[in-house]
Structure 1
Amino acid sequence: MANEISIIILTYNRSDALNAVLNALAQQETIPSEVVITDDGSNASHTQITQSFLHSQEWPFRIKYIWHPDIGFTASTARNQGVLNSGGNYLIFLDGDCIPRHDFVSQHVHQRRQGCFINGSRILLDQDITEEIIRRPELVQNSILFWMKQRFFRRINKWIPMVARIPPFLRHASPHFKWSGIRSCNFSLWRDDFFKVNGFDEAFVGWGHEDADFVWRLQRAGLKRINGYWSTEVFHLWHFEASRDRESANARRLGERMTNPTSSYKAEQGLLEGSSHRSEILFSV
């Protein structure tokens, strides 16, 4: 689908947060062509709440909601399934607990370039302001003065990027891999480039480093990194940290790949191989 934008949203047992994210996407300056919600195994209560919410109103974009059973933290698989169920030629990845401001999509679109991917940023919220925004999602569009106040009370970790925007023509596209600042919860690239590296590697199971592996392979394939800091920030809602018991194994896997001169930029277990597990379409309109 030429010139169409697909938003891929990863979610897991956060139906209240997901609803706030969807409302924010419906109010974008640039409306995406479609939104694909890829659920990493939410329980029946959350999937029912989400489906009810999706049916409760008309949306300015196509929506597809896919789900697979809970077999642990399998973000790579879920994101790959989201892409396989999408149709746009430009992909924007967003997590279901990251609420975008009104110009989020337009900032990604204005900064995109051939041969590049965009690594976005986030503003961290504490538990109190998170609970307030869940009750009143419209707060994310509030004035800068409101967010300055939240920073004063240390309810968020920064506010200046919301006003001090760096224009696209000043963005540097780097060919060099850096671990710091990689955020798959706010990330975009051309569809062809996603397929070029065979997507996320599903061999990374559990929390940690599947996103760094993805970025490393993109740059090994010749793509350059544009940091979308100070323009693409999303509000990352507070939550308890996921178990990190697989982090060291995932870090070791990535380290071995990076130090092996014969390593391919294609995922070992990605889009083409993947797991035998496939997602079920729960809702489509």
Structure 2
Amino acid sequence: MKSLKPSVSVILSTYNAVDWLEKTLWGYQFQTTFDFEIVIADDGSGPQTKELLEEFSKDFPVPIIHVWQEDEGFQKSRILNKAIVACNSDYILMSDGDCIPKNNFVEEHLKHRRKGYFLSGGYFKLPLDISNSINLPDIQNQNCFDVNWLKERGLKSSFKNKKLTAGKFTSRALNFLTPTNASWNGHNASGWKEDIVRVNGFDERMQYGGQDRELGERLMNSGIKSIQIRYTAICVHLDHARGYKTQETLDKNAAIRKNTRDNKVTYAIHGINKNHDVTI
């Protein structure tokens, strides 16, 4: 009898962006494996998001779990911690509700997972006009990952386009050669739940700007290593405004990250476990 426990829990963060979330969920309808569940980390969206998820859940190929909290401003770290607790799998893949996954996205994360490591992916950012134009057939047919199709719609030539054009061997070489650090990226990263829980998840003092990287830094401080898969596990990022981005929160988060690096912090006191005198 097949276990009901999925091989991976995919956490998608969202906040009042039903059009982008719909396109993202379409991407998970066409994966090459369905051995996963989706956990929506909803930072206070209105009823439209709940209605969308209820509609998708009627015939979606994998379970969708909706984790919601009251809207108290940008509290992504807090809702992500709640989503981590809700995950049924031993392995967690984190992305965002504005990142459409290529059809082998989940499979590539499962293929490369290793004990003692987390996986660091990247994203390919699309301009707003192309983001708006993508529809269900474009995702089903994988047009939105086709550079020629994107160029016909105004995408400019760039070395970054190789994320979409690199084949198996080229992507492996680019993963090795890229100067970009293999950091924990909230839009495309995965790791073992026990490792994430051991460092107590996200630091809930942190708002927009680097809270994902800080988690990765604590993982590395605790002995977990990282593997670069930015050219292997591909998602495209739909453009949007960031009204929650402020210099004050960026400075605050930078100070927390500096402390984590300088003092080799491995445990977030303001994390999943709120009993500050006990470690998990």
TM-score (norm 1): 0.83
CA contact (8 A) 2:203 2:269 kept: yes
Deviations 1:38-80 (A, max 9, x none): 1001123x3344244335x312211111211111111111111
CA contact (8 A) 1:166 1:230 kept: no
Counterpart CA distance in 1 for 2:32 and 2:146 is 21
CA contact (8 A) 2:99 2:236 kept: yes
Counterpart CA distance in 2 for 1:58 and 1:207 is 34
Q: Secondary structure of the equivalent of 1:61?
A: coil
Counterpart CA distance in 2 for 1:274 and 1:234 is 37
For structure 2, the 5+ residue unaligned runs are none
2:227 corresponding residue in structure 1? 226
Shift of 1:162: 2.5
Deviations 1:7-60 (A, max 9, x none): 11100011111112112112100113311111001123x3344244335x3122
Deviations 1:216-272 (A, max 9, x none): 100001111111111112110010123322111110121123223xx5301111111
2:27 corresponding residue in structure 1? 24
2:259 to 234, 245, 256: 256
2:56 corresponding residue in structure 1? 54
1:154 corresponding residue in structure 2? 155
CA contact (8 A) 1:126 1:156 kept: no
CA contact (8 A) 2:6 2:88 kept: no
1:91 corresponding residue in structure 2? 92
Shift of 1:166: 4.7
Counterpart CA distance in 2 for 1:188 and 1:145 is 21
Counterpart CA distance in 1 for 2:28 and 2:97 is 11
Q: Secondary structure of the equivalent of 1:266?
A: coil
CA contact (8 A) 1:15 1:49 kept: no
Q: Secondary structure of the equivalent of 1:10?
A: strand
Shift of 1:181: 6.1
2:196 corresponding residue in structure 1? 194
User: Are 1:9 and 2:44 matched, yes or no?
Assistant: no
- The worse-fitting range, judged by mean Cα deviation, of 150-159 and 113-122 is 150-159
Moved segments of 4+, more than 4 Å? 143-146, 166-172, 178-182
Greater helix fraction, Structure 1 or Structure 2: 2
1:281 corresponding residue in structure 2? none
- The worse-fitting range, judged by mean Cα deviation, of 87-96 and 160-169 is 160-169
For structure 1, the 5+ residue unaligned runs are 173-177, 276-285
> May I ask how many residue pairs the two structures share in their alignment?
263
Higher relative contact order (Cα pairs below 8 Å, separated by 6+ residues) = 1
CA contact (8 A) 1:10 1:37 kept: yes
1:163 corresponding residue in structure 2? 165
Query: Relative to structure 1, is the Cα distance of residues 99 and 107 closer, same or farther in structure 2, using a 3 angstrom cutoff?
Result: same
1:282 corresponding residue in structure 2? none
Shift of 1:274: 7.8
CA contact (8 A) 2:15 2:45 kept: yes
CA contact (8 A) 2:147 2:165 kept: no
- The worse-fitting range, judged by mean Cα deviation, of 96-105 and 223-232 is 223-232
TM-score (norm 2): 0.84
CA contact (8 A) 2:9 2:92 kept: yes
Counterpart CA distance in 2 for 1:104 and 1:97 is 15
Amino acid at match of 1:251: A
Deviations 1:86-110 (A, max 9, x none): 1101101110000001000011111
Amino acid at match of 1:4: S
CA contact (8 A) 1:6 1:32 kept: no
User: Are 1:42 and 2:45 matched, yes or no?
Assistant: yes
Counterpart CA distance in 1 for 2:273 and 2:65 is 22
Counterpart CA distance in 2 for 1:129 and 1:144 is 9
